[in-house]
Structure 1
Amino acid sequence: MAPDLLEPLPAAPLLLAFSGGLDSTVLLHLLAAHPEARARGLRVLHVDHGLQPASAAWAEHCRQACAGLGLSFELRRARVEPAGEGLEAAARRVRYAILAEVQAEGEVVALAHHRDDQAETVLLRLLRGSADGLAGMRRLRRFGRGWLWRPLLDLPRERLLAHARAEGMAWIEDPSNQDPVHDRNYLRQEVMPRLRARWPGAGAALARSARLLAEQAALLAGEDRRRLAQVQGADPATLSLSALAAQPPAWRARLLRAWLAELELPPLPGPQLDRLAQNLLAARVDAVPELAWSGAVLRRWRDTLHAGYPKPPLPADWQAVWDGRAPLPLPGGGVLVLEPPRPFDSPVRVRARRGGERLRLPGRGHSSELRDLLQALGVPPWQRFRLPLLEAGDGEVLAAGDLAVSARLQAWLDAHEARLRLRH
């Protein structure tokens, strides 16, 4: 196979996700032999999930393979903890999170999925009741700060194997790929061979159907965006339930899927969508139901549906001293910043909520319980204990994140033409 097999090559720097297996080894060599890929800044990332005893040896194999080709190599070690999902799904979620973290602005992440992977993906999603399953994986799609690219998606694995053997390539064989307890392995070992025995072109036909249905989905994407704009809140991770309920039933499910895809959350299987309609949309107004899947969570609060990955509250004993000059990182993610950066007259203490705090808003002669203020502002319960409190040296609460700012702090911000921001 010649490097021009990768045409058209994205006009951007490339980051190859390299497992060391057959597929990514072939892609590594094809990219390394492509002058434009090198010229645009090709680099390689290996994620060691630590799930196999030989994982450290695999990482060293990948490092040496890249060194032999003169390519930049980065190793990241991951801790995989299933959160209501299988081990495969958890490892994939962690891997994609690391890819998004390592990815530079505008960079294209290259993955080595091939036509057999596409056929398996279509079957898996159909069996899980996913309406979007037939569209399969896309060759190029938005991802993180750039794009995700699958240049081998039209090639069968047998062609990659023949090329690797002809070129004398060395690759890793992961023993977990032979364990039929994993759904994809079962399809690969038990189901696909039977399909090919009866229909020799089954893999190609499934991939072709996925491509045609992806084209149809693209035609509907414009209407998806138009309708989603009608139901989405100012925060992209929220939907208005009353606006969603006003949509025809078939469009409700489609908009939910489009919304989750836009947020880069795992797709909801068909049965989960049914549960969503029953439990979340039909819940009492004062209830706070939630639906968790694949590490993500959907929650209803009043008339709003919230989606994302759950974050723990700030540790109860956490506190820090902040002078405002530089962003203040928070436990579990997020930072407090002053825009533009400038020092407070005196450093403030930043801590977690403990309950019972009071705060005086601008224009009010008395303070109010912070709990009541956050309820009035519509802050969902699970977000309230993620809000850091700013406290003056005399103990007065100055702010809860950037949502409730006291009269005292607001006067200082106005005088210094500054704004307090909590970035998630």
Structure 2
Amino acid sequence: MFQRNGIRFVKVVAQPCMFTAQSRSFNLTAQYYQQKELKKTVLHDFHKDNGGKMVGFAGWSMPVQYKDLGLVASHHHTREKASLFDVSHMLQVKIFGKDRIKFIESLIVGDIQGLENDSGTLSLFTNDKGGILDDVIVNVTNDDHLYIVSNAGCGDKITVLYNNALSDFKGDARIEYIDNGLVALQGPLAAKILQNGVNFDLSKMYFMKGFYGKLFGVDNCRITRCGYTGEDGFEISTPREKTVAVTEKLLENEDVKLAGLGARDSLRLEAGLCLYGNDMDETTTPVEASLTWCIGKRRRKEKNFPGAEIILQQIKKKPEKRRVGLVNEGPTARSGASVFDNNGAEIGRVTSGCPSPTLQKNIAMAYVPTESSKIGTLFSVQVRKKVHPAKIVKMPFTPAKYYFPAK
């Protein structure tokens, strides 16, 4: 952090996961952006007191790692036991009114009408050109509202979108912006650990299901079985004044460790999950991003979501480019690395990349021409002015472990 002409410049993590076999540790790649002051989550001081290394991320001061556990060790701990992530910077809202589903469906591609009570789905805000404004989790509650979580970095943009759309909406809908804390407990032991704090049988609560209830005696907690790591886990929205107490209670279990942005990035990449601003943006459509499954069948038939004509045409005729998974030899291919075909022609760019602690391979996501997006296709990637062999592989890179009913 430094100042120039009275303006503070803050480090932002661009790709917090450069792993080398020699050092067996992560290094941070950072860029500077201009900002007067970073926002702080309700757990900010708690992170510092517990050895969190704070960095700027999406306008917020967030922990990238902790002194008692390096990034690679934190990654493995999540895959083997359970880690607790602060995601309080995310935008949380409730939408009320008898036309609340009609309202949210006017902005996104998902079929919310078709969801059962107390269940949710990943969806996408799109613009009139079919570009992705943000990804979002929409939950239909058993109460009188929708509970919705979207990205911190798009918070201002999506707030404007909500407010403008609401002012033009012909129906009964209203928005409540929530100032709750939000933490994510992720890993194979997450359910066992959380079960000690609730009076509900979590074995009956499947992936993307949620409920309101008490957690360790704290009322009005929203618990949703989901996450951003590919592991089983839960996102827990708590009253702001109780967030530290709930966090401390979860950490009483010796199998739970705090984790930061570094491990979160390598975990989500192994799980094949997009990072908004890297792997998709307003110039990328859901079809190009390989997220066509987010578009509900009813919505395709009704053709009434933003950018529907362009998106549905791409589904029918295929887009010019697609997001694919890559593994490459040599040094890690990071965001911005060029992708070349076998004739040496540049045909795409890497959007995210890091060494996989689980697989001990370099993994990445990139956009390439659709005709060249078949699994097994050989390419090369340029890293530090040298090219290295690469190949398209199936995503996710590591198997998802979400909790579903037994077949």
Q: TM-score, normalised by structure 2?
A: 0.23
Specify which structure has the bigger relative contact order, considering alpha-carbon pairs within 8 angstroms and separated by 6 or more residues: 2
Q: TM-score, normalised by structure 1?
A: 0.22
Whose strand fraction is larger, Structure 1's or Structure 2's? 2
Whose helix fraction is larger, Structure 1's or Structure 2's? 1
